Structure 1
């Protein structure tokens, strides 16, 4: 099948051939893959994607074989996003690549590592969402013709707006000024595929953090049923199995997102992708009832899991390790591998440390000590 027709049967407002935004560096199309399949393949074959295998989601990789890592989380987000996109007749391939790439910029040790690295940057900053773009645009180095993976502008726009339109462009001025050469509209909404990937991320981490939290005995099923949303959803059946809770919760959230979004597509009378970009608010969203339930789950996980003493204890150690590594390479800059003369010393150190896996960071720390 010629790739020209791969996306021809999608909704008129989907991301597809007739609204493809091109690439920074033009390249010839392939015979049998669509442009967003090509993006996906470039991400999957990248070094940064492989390193997600040993990067923390909540628990450090060696604490158990079945706890999520960043790689597993990204795959789960991708699966959820593709299912939702198919139901809405949108572009599954674009959903997939945005989902797979959205966490490439995470530091070792999860959000604790990110906080520590950002604090080390003084007047500069570090943000993992921006770092994901920095990796894709600058740091992946597999093509002799250019830096980065040269992903489609559609994909980069979707990653840029993972959390919605950009209100603070100053963060990009510090961490990724090159993004301003891509002629992106920072103030518009992302494509429906970008919106799906963002909320598939919410579904994945809420459901699977419940799974991991129960597995780690940080809270019980009885604790979960203190939540009105969970209690109502499962009709106060506390004899239900852990896997059944996670599976049915995920299905409930995804189904609600699909059905509510179908309704909003009709209400907004979408015809073209410009109607999506120019909409006054996001089209892809949960119903008010389910959004309230999700907020209840987030607050529960914050108290019972993210602020649990065992998690906080490891987070404190993680922050200490990142701070130590940063200060070490600042004092011993000559030991930093392959610094880029176009970037500041702090930025080169941040790029190096943020690219580390948990395992590599721990090994470097122990060897230095």
Structure 2
């Protein structure tokens, strides 16, 4: 049996074993045809997983803030661990719902690749700067597509499947949904339109085109809600007894019980269906817990003590690199560390502000701080 025949048998097995709502590997569509993939033995979404794993942006997850930054504690969640948790939780849900685990893994591993240093605070600071330079709002979901599609491989991009890119763009883990039904029949033209819409109006709510994308979006919330609570308790920002009683009675008061109850509920309410859903009781409990986290953790001034310094640093670095580009300062790190050997296609299609946005967004926390002191 040839290797291609094995691929055909795997594709056939998906047809027989997966849910009718699942995205089959054979349905994966790329911007550019790749004969090596079309005639090889690798399935489409499995290829996407490997390409994301081998991206430089994925490597930089290891030193990117999840919630708490500039804190000396090795046991606090960083972006890499969060992404791994999303991948594991979403693949667990996908397995029980008979969905495509390769597509789920690709979306999960790539969903936060566009995050700035210093988490959502960094994202907000960079967004205001980008808006002032008239290049639209900055959103990490949009930037994830930018990195994977247009920056990686010196501007060539990874030529990922539409289904993977769509799931990454539409993950919006901060939005609360009791249920999600895929918005099917999208194209690359749809993807570009949704990117433009999101950059112009960040409040725009996008819906993934696949059940797999919907799973990752729900799993994003499941993975961070309890984990952030444990981190906040570890840092003495809150006490376990502070958690809202109405949510604790339904979901529990530890990350383990919260994850278990949320995953169990979504599987029970979504099995053999063409949409994903929490029960009303669980959804309401989760919504209350998200409100609690926002007030007592994410907006807590105790974790914002260095916010002013980080905000000013974003402004200083952005202006510095704009000036370096305008003056063609070839000794600047934006030339030596980012634009060196970059494709003409990338350089010709991006103005100075967009280039600086991409450079700063891709920085790790330590790299950002190192260049603040230069």
1:104 is aligned to 2:125: no
Specify the alignment match of 2:245 in structure 1: 227
- Report 1:293-312 matches (<5 A): 293-312=285-304
- Report 1:267-306 matches (<5 A): 270=274, 283-306=275-298
- The one-character-per-residue Cα deviations of 1:201-239 (angstroms, maximum 9, x if unpaired) are 010111211111111111001111x331113444xxxxx
1:211 is aligned to 2:230: yes
- Report 1:323-342 matches (<5 A): 323-333=315-325, 334=329, 335=332, 336-337=334-335, 338=339, 340-342=347-349
1:261 is aligned to 2:261: no
- 8 Å contact from structure 1 (residues 109, 315) kept in 2: no
- Cα 1:174/1:330, change in 2 over 3 Å: farther
Structure 2 Cα separation of the partners of residues 326 and 5 of structure 1:
52
Structure 2 Cα separation of the partners of residues 187 and 175 of structure 1:
12
Unaligned 5+ residue runs, structure 1? 177-185, 235-241, 271-282
- Quote the offset at 1:32 in angstroms: 4.5
- RMSD after superposition: 2.6
Specify the alignment match of 2:177 in structure 1: none
1:10 is aligned to 2:22: no
After superposing on structure 2, the runs of 4+ consecutive aligned residues of structure 1 that deviate more than 6 Å are 164-168, 173-176
Deviates more, 1:351-360 or 1:26-35: 26-35
- The one-character-per-residue Cα deviations of 1:266-293 (angstroms, maximum 9, x if unpaired) are xxxx5xxxxxxxxxxxx11211111111
Structure 1 Cα separation of the partners of residues 98 and 194 of structure 2:
36
1:134 is aligned to 2:131: no
- 8 Å contact from structure 1 (residues 52, 71) kept in 2: yes
- 8 Å contact from structure 2 (residues 28, 45) kept in 1: no
* Alignment partner of 2:369 out of 355, 359, 362: 362
- Quote the offset at 1:261 in angstroms: 1.2
Structure 1 Cα separation of the partners of residues 361 and 96 of structure 2:
36
Specify the alignment match of 2:187 in structure 1: none
- Cα 1:344/1:257, change in 2 over 3 Å: same
Specify the alignment match of 1:70 in structure 2: 79
Structure 2 Cα separation of the partners of residues 312 and 158 of structure 1:
31
- Quote the offset at 1:61 in angstroms: 6.5
- Quote the offset at 1:62 in angstroms: 5.4
- The one-character-per-residue Cα deviations of 1:152-181 (angstroms, maximum 9, x if unpaired) are 1221122232248689947527969xxxxx
Structure 1 Cα separation of the partners of residues 116 and 302 of structure 2:
20
Structure 2 Cα separation of the partners of residues 308 and 48 of structure 1:
30
Unaligned 5+ residue runs, structure 2? 173-179, 184-189
- Cα 1:187/1:361, change in 2 over 3 Å: closer
- 8 Å contact from structure 2 (residues 170, 206) kept in 1: no
- Cα 1:349/1:72, change in 2 over 3 Å: same
- Quote the offset at 1:315 in angstroms: 2.8
- Quote the offset at 1:13 in angstroms: 2.2
Classify the secondary structure of the residue corresponding to 1:124.
coil
- Report 1:135-150 matches (<5 A): 135-141=147-153, 147-150=156-159
- The one-character-per-residue Cα deviations of 1:82-140 (angstroms, maximum 9, x if unpaired) are 00000001001101110110000000011111111111121322111100001111000
- 8 Å contact from structure 2 (residues 194, 206) kept in 1: no
- Quote the offset at 1:71 in angstroms: 0.9
Normalised TM-score (structure 1): 0.82
Deviates more, 1:160-169 or 1:103-112: 160-169
